[in-house]
Structure 1
Amino acid sequence: MTPFTIDIPQSDLDDLRERLTRTRWTPQLPGDGWDRGVPADWLRDTAEYWRTGYDWRAREARLNEFPQFIEEIDGLGLHYLHVRSPEPDALPLILAHGWPNSFVEFARTIPLLAQTFHVVVPSVPGFGFSAAPRTTGFGIGAVVAMYGRLMERLGYDRYGTQGGDLGAYVAPELARLHPDRVVGVHIDGGFGFPTEDDVPGMTADERAEWDLMQQWMSGGVDHHALLRVAPQTFGHGWHDSPVALLAWHAQKFQEFSMSDQPLFDVIDRDLFLDNVSLYWFTKTAATSSWPMYEGLAGAADRPRFEWPKGQKAVPSGVYAGGSALMRRLAERDNTITHWPEGNPGRHHFVAMEEPAAHVADIRAFYAGLR
């Protein structure tokens, strides 16, 4: 296990500022607000702050306060944070980040979680400082196998899992693969989302709820379809232009907000730029697209987006549960022991927005499983 320190070359910082300075700005299209995508004025202002106000070196130093390592597993270098609790008998907890995110997603929750847990935060292969998959066919199962081996090498034979977004696929699969080791699965949300296969068995009220869900799901850019078809094509632009990368992340973070408030009233601006900067400096905008072009689709004869699969091997809990319909469907495929109502949160990446509430909920779930 090789200790790792983030140390972006100064030449890369200078190159970023030069590229931002030379941006060829697109004119604003007709429309109001974000109706046509990221507004030109918003993007210009944010890029200028990234160029002249944002301090990567200070943010880099804060991230380096977390002990980091590189471990070779299955031929790939896996980057991870390992923050031990002062309590020697603390339960280990592995955190699985989402897309388009990174270990930065948990930067505000790790210090709080480490008071109760031994915290392990891997960077998904192809994200951040983890090596990218070298072949096609790399999926969630490969990530889960690597994470299981990592926990074994760290000496943890009993641990919990937590994740949201992409992490909501990884966390339950770890329990499925290692039911003798994983004591519980906690996700941000996603248990019990209905599919077309569930529609025939719905009541009239549930069908109305399904129709509303379809309206919500159809909004925004379908990144699953876009990256399933042409990740290389779009990756060229994100790899070459920091403003293109910034706009793409802004588009998705805005769509992932469940609030009408400005994005930076919900997600801290510097924290958002930490994540964008990490993608830029590690050149992973394209390599992180594998979950969409082959990892989260169904079988070959059903190439469509699918929700995480349930498991009943260990208890499951969720930060934001959902309706009675979702609870019914969640209990069909999971052993739900934690389904709170009223937890605060206006964004898909709740750990970035509500770190204290997120940590409190994780603690509450695992308190009954020790």
Structure 2
Amino acid sequence: MVEPFLIAVPDDRLPAIRAKVAAFDWTMVPDAGGWQSGVGLADLKRLVDYWLTRYDWRAQERRLNMLPQFTAKVRGQRLHFIHARGDGSRAPLLLLHGWPGSFLEFEALIAPLVADGHDVVIPSLPGYAFSGRPNAPIGPRQTAELMHDLMVELFGTTRYLVQGGDWGAAIGGWIAHQHPEAVAGLHLNMVLLQAEDAVPKKPEELAWAEQRAETAKTETGYSLEQGTRPQTLGVAMSDSPVGIAAWILEKFGVWADLPRDAEGRPDLWQTFDEDLLLTNIMLYLVEGSFVTSTWMYRGRVLEGSGKFPAGTRIRVP
């Protein structure tokens, strides 16, 4: 059953988070080389200073509550989602975020897509933000079934469009693979899935595979940790808002294709403002969802959903 939803973080939660932010001991974190060794401490300190002196969660909460939000139980899993209604002249559109993102990624797209005639559905993935915590790690293939069932709940047999990035790309890929009759079109901004027997042959495919392997040497440590030891990481992070902020901010700095200076340091502030970054981080804190957000990595390992079965492919355009 679909029910309206408003964000209402308990009053005692916000000062508890703020107190931990204020108590963080910066002397315990000497600089190991700035962005060359992880998150740049100067940028992190700038964000934390804004957090303590100017950031207003309640103002952000009021703004977010202007969005049409709902929850639904799907296969026993509580899902939070935005459903903005168009005039029905175009296919419904499912927008899927990844880690360390949230439904905020698509906020600016809602109005133009609705004006174009689409119903726009933006879920929080299981274990993220205001979606319920799964009982155990859940991977992209199982999540794909939840998302497909949600769209069936909302639109019946009407075919729909899917856009996904990061985990959203894996989930969207599995939806199209498993339910091609329901998906009218698939758009991905990350390549995560291929068949088990797929082998790069063309020069451009070989070059892409080589580049991907090279990137994996320096940019996938977090993924290995979250895919193999999420419990340990969760214990370390669950009581440290600044630790969670650092873990997330680093990925925004490295992954967002930002301009860089002569020493390779990303310019976060040319693209992002503090309110946007902190609101995304707070969505991992106010419901204590950082730990369960990492379970998708473990879930992929457990369900073996990193590749499609041999001899199969996505046939949805």
* TM bucket normalised to smaller: 0.7 to 0.9
- 1:10-39 deviations in Å (ceiling 9; x for gaps): 2211112211111111342343x3122223
Cα-to-partner distance string for 1:263-318 (whole Å, 9 max, x where unaligned): 2223333212111001010101110112211315784xxxxx94678844321xxx
Change (3 A) 1:218 1:194: farther
Given that 1:91 and 1:159 are in contact with CA atoms closer than 8 Å, whether structure 2 keeps it comes out as: yes
Task: Report if the CA contact (8 A) 1:3-1:70 is conserved.
Answer: yes
Whether the 8 Å CA contact 2:173–2:314 is kept in 1: the answer is no
Q: Which runs of 5+ in 2 are unaligned?
A: 261-265
Tell me if the contact between 2:98 and 2:165 (Cα under 8 Å) persists in the aligned partners: yes
Provide TM-score, normalisation by structure 2: 0.87
Displacement after TM superposition at 1:253 (Å):
1.6
* Alignment partners' CA distance in 2, 1:165 and 1:308: 17
Superposition map of 1:35-184 within 5 A: 35-85=36-86, 87-116=87-116, 117-136=118-137, 138-156=138-156, 157-184=158-185
CA contact (8 A) 1:144 1:170 kept: yes
- TM-aligned CA deviation for residue 209 of structure 1: 5.4
Aligned residues: 305
Asked whether the 8 Å contact 1:172–1:311 carries over to 2, the reply is: no
Structure 1 Cα separation of the partners of residues 149 and 40 of structure 2: 44
Q: Which has the higher contact order (CA 8 A, sep 6+)?
A: 2
Match of 1:227, SS state, is helix
**Matches of 2:219 and 2:147, distance apart in 1:** 32
Q: Distance in 2 between matches of 1:163 and 1:270?
A: 24
Contact 1:102 1:275 in 2 (8 A): yes
Matched to 1:149, the amino acid is D
Contact in 1 for aligned 2:140/2:299 (Cα 8 Å): no
Is 2:102–2:124's contact at 8 Å kept on the other side of the alignment? yes
- Deviation, 1:169, is 1.0
Alpha carbons of structure 1 residues 83 and 308: separation in structure 2 relative to 1, 3 Å: farther
1:77–1:130 CA contact under 8 A, matched in 2: yes
Alignment partners' CA distance in 2, 1:121 and 1:209? 30
Q: Deviations over 1:158-184 (max 9, x none)?
A: 211111110101112222232222100
Partner amino acid for 1:28?
Answer: P
Letter in 1 for 2:237: W
**Residue of structure 2 equivalent to 1:275:** 280
Matches of 1:208 and 1:89, distance apart in 2: 41
Write out aligned runs for 1:205-284 (5 A). 207=206, 210-259=209-258, 260=260, 261-284=266-289
Q: CA deviation at 1:255?
A: 2.1
1:41 Cα shift?
Answer: 2.9
Conservation of the 8 A alpha-carbon contact between 1:126 and 1:132: yes
CA RMSD of aligned residues (A): 2.6
Letter matched to residue 295 of structure 2: W
Shift of 1:216: 2.6
Distance 2:139 2:207 in 1: 34
More displaced stretch, 36-45 vs 157-166? 36-45
Alignment of 1:282-297 (within 5 A): 282-295=287-300
Residue aligning to 2:263: none
Matches of 2:38 and 2:49, distance apart in 1: 19
Q: 1:296 to 1:66 in 2, by over 3 A?
A: farther
User: Unaligned 5+ residue runs, structure 1?
Assistant: 300-304, 316-370
Q: CA deviation at 1:107?
A: 1.5
Conserved in 1, the CA contact under 8 Å of 2:68 and 2:83?
A: yes
Question: What SS is found at the alignment partner of 1:107?
Answer: helix
Cα distance in 2 for partners of 1:254, 1:179 equals 36
Q: Quick one: distance in 1 between partners of 2:65 and 2:212? A: 41
Quick check: 1:175–1:314 contact (8 Å CA) kept in 2?
yes
Distance in 1, Cα, partners of 2:302 & 2:198: 16
* Residue 202 of structure 1, CA deviation: 5.1
Query: What residue is the counterpart of 2:25 in the other structure?
Result: 24
Letter in 2 for 1:292: Y
Give the Cα–Cα distance (whole angstroms) in 2 for the partners of residues 268 and 28 of structure 1. Answer: 26
- Gap change, CA 1:209 and 1:2, over 3 Å in 2: closer
The answer to whether the 8 Å contact 1:124/1:130 transfers is yes
Change (3 A) 1:196 1:63: same
Compute the displacement of 1:198 (Å). Answer: 2.8
Give runs of aligned pairs for residues 304-315 of structure 1, distance below 5 A.
Answer: 306=306, 311-315=313-317
Q: What's the TM-score, normalizing by structure 1?
A: 0.75
